[in-house]
């Protein structure tokens, strides 16, 4: 088992507190900072495989088992007194946060392709980003699509090509190591546990999007994206534009697998949209203008490898880059 020194785990929790949770979830910011200074909880984490020590995974496991802690002593008690169940939950689950609000960043690009579209999402989780045509959008007061039980609000800056309508989609396919079932109560409970405290709107949006996906299931391929993407592309209906996209996925790949994915997608007859953390795709990052303050916590939206916008990690903000 690959492990990691306690000091590195503490750094990771400090980073999560100061960069990822800061300004988004004050409770998680405080919890992660406290964990980074708690030798007992760090020792619990150090016993887990290196790939199972992330803040998101521990915090989600605790929400899944116990609900949201109201204080750090309560949380630490859950970790130390209920260590077996917390460990088992972390070993049997993964960080699969599925945020349909990320579709508000995808839509302006999707609407620019010739219709109809075949959508293939790699790292789809429960597939909630495969329904951009089923959601309604409020782009700073400019309404697109709908009516829908899910309205995605998104603040804009820069020359965003806000579309007049949503595009026609003829096929939706997802690839995931472990596709989650939108109709399964336990999968739904895990997806809820992955939502950070302080965002009740994300919970209601999740339920509405899961209901919508359960009523119109996407085709899901189980396995590694390198193996399953060619299978999905081969299943795309003729006479459609095939769009391969991924949001918050490639950070889970090794550098070799990432390079293999970029080569694979570049050789397929598809358009390619990525929405990933800064630095996850170095070739995209290197084409960005100088980073702005706070960039480290943002995602970068790119079309066929060219950056077009910065976006908020869980949706709600789209900052289009000025044309160069």
Ligand X SMILES: C[S@@+](CC[C@H](N)C(=O)[O-])C[C@H]1O[C@@H](n2cnc3c(N)ncnc32)[C@H](O)[C@@H]1O
Please identify, among the stretches 33-41, 130-138, 204-212, 249-257, the one whose residues bind ligand X according to the rule CB under 6 A.
Answer: 249-257
311 binds ligand X (CB under 6 A): no
If one asks whether residue 247 binds ligand X (CB under 6 A), the answer comes out as yes
Q: Which residue is nearest to ligand X (CB)?
A: 123
Tell me which of 53, 54, 63, 97 binds ligand X, using CB under 6 A. Answer: 97
In the complex, minimum distance from the CB of residue 20 to ligand X, in angstroms, rounded to a whole number: 13
94 binds ligand X (CB under 6 A): yes
Cβ proximity to ligand X, 46 vs 260, nearer residue? 260
Taking the least distance from each CB to ligand X, the nearer of 122 and 195 is 122
- Report the nearest approach of ligand X to the CB of residue 181 (Å): 12
- Render the burial of 263-275: b for 16+ CB within 10 Å, e for the rest: ebbeebebbbbbb
Angle, helix 55-66 to helix 185-193, in steps of 10 degrees: 120
Pairs from 229-235 (Cβ < 8 Å, separation ≥ 24): 229/120, 229/122, 229/175, 229/261, 229/264, 229/265, 229/268, 230/264, 230/268, 232/120, 232/173, 232/175, 233/120, 233/268, 233/269, 233/270, 235/171, 235/173
**Nearer to ligand X (CB atom), residue 149 or residue 277:** 277
Q: Which positions from 200 through 229 interact with ligand X, judged by CB under 6 A?
A: 224-225
Interface residue with ligand X among 20, 29, 99, 187 (CB under 6 A) is 99
Q: How far apart are CA 118 and CA 276, in angstroms?
A: 21
Q: Which is nearer to ligand X, 78 or 137 (CB)?
A: 137
The CB-of-207 to ligand X minimum distance in angstroms stands at 15
- Least distance (Å) from ligand X to the CB of residue 99? 4
Is 106 a residue that touches ligand X (CB under 6 A)? Answer: no
> Which of 52, 102, 172, 317 forms a contact with ligand X (CB under 6 A)?
102
Q: Are strands 151-157 and 136-139 parallel, antiparallel or unpaired?
A: parallel
Residue 291 corresponds to which tokens in the numbers above?
Answer: 């980073």
Token pair, residue 122, equals 């790699």
Which residues have C-beta within 8 Å of that of residue 295, sequence separation ≥ 6? Answer: 278, 310
177 lies in the binding site for ligand X (CB under 6 A): yes
DSSP 281: S
Question: Could you give the CA distance from residue 100 to residue 299 in angstroms, rounded to a whole number?
Answer: 15
Chain residues binding ligand X by CB under 6 A are: 94-99, 102, 122-125, 129, 175-178, 224-225, 247-249, 252-253
């Amino acid at each position: 088992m690959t492990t990691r020194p306690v000091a590195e785990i503490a750094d990771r929790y400090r980073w999560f507190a100061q960069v990822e949770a800061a300004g988004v979830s004050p409770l998680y910011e405080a919890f992660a900072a406290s964990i980074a200074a708690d030798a007992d909880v760090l020792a619990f984490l150090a016993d887990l495989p290196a790939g199972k020590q992330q803040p998101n995974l521990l915090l989600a496991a605790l929400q899944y088992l116990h609900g949201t802690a109201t204080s750090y002593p309560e949380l630490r008690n859950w970790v130390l007194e209920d260590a077996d169940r917390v460990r088992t939950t972390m070993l049997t689950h993964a960080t699969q946060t599925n945020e349909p609000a990320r579709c508000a960043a995808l839509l302006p690009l999707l609407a620019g392709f010739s219709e109809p579209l075949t959508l293939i999402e790699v790292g789809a989780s429960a597939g909630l980003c495969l329904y951009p045509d089923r959601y309604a959008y409020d782009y700073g007061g400019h309404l697109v699509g709908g009516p829908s039980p899910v309205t995605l609000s998104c603040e804009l800056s820069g020359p965003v090509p806000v579309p007049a309508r949503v595009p026609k989609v003829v096929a939706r396919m997802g690839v995931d190591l472990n596709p989650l079932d939108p109709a399964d109560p336990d999968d739904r409970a895990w997806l809820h546990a992955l939502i950070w405290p302080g965002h009740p709107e994300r919970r209601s949006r999740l339920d509405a999007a899961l209901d919508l996906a359960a009523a119109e299931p996407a085709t899901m391929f189980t396995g590694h994206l390198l193996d399953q993407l060619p299978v999905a592309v081969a299943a795309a209906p003729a006479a459609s534009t095939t769009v391969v996209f991924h949001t918050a996925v490639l950070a889970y790949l090794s550098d070799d697998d990432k390079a293999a994915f970029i080569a694979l997608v570049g050789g397929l007859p598809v358009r390619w949209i990525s929405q990933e953390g800064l630095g996850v795709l170095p070739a995209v990052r290197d084409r960005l203008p100088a980073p702005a303050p706070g960039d480290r916590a943002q995602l970068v939206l790119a079309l066929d490898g060219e950056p077009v916008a910065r976006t908020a990690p869980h949706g709600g903000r789209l900052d289009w880059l000025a044309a160069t």
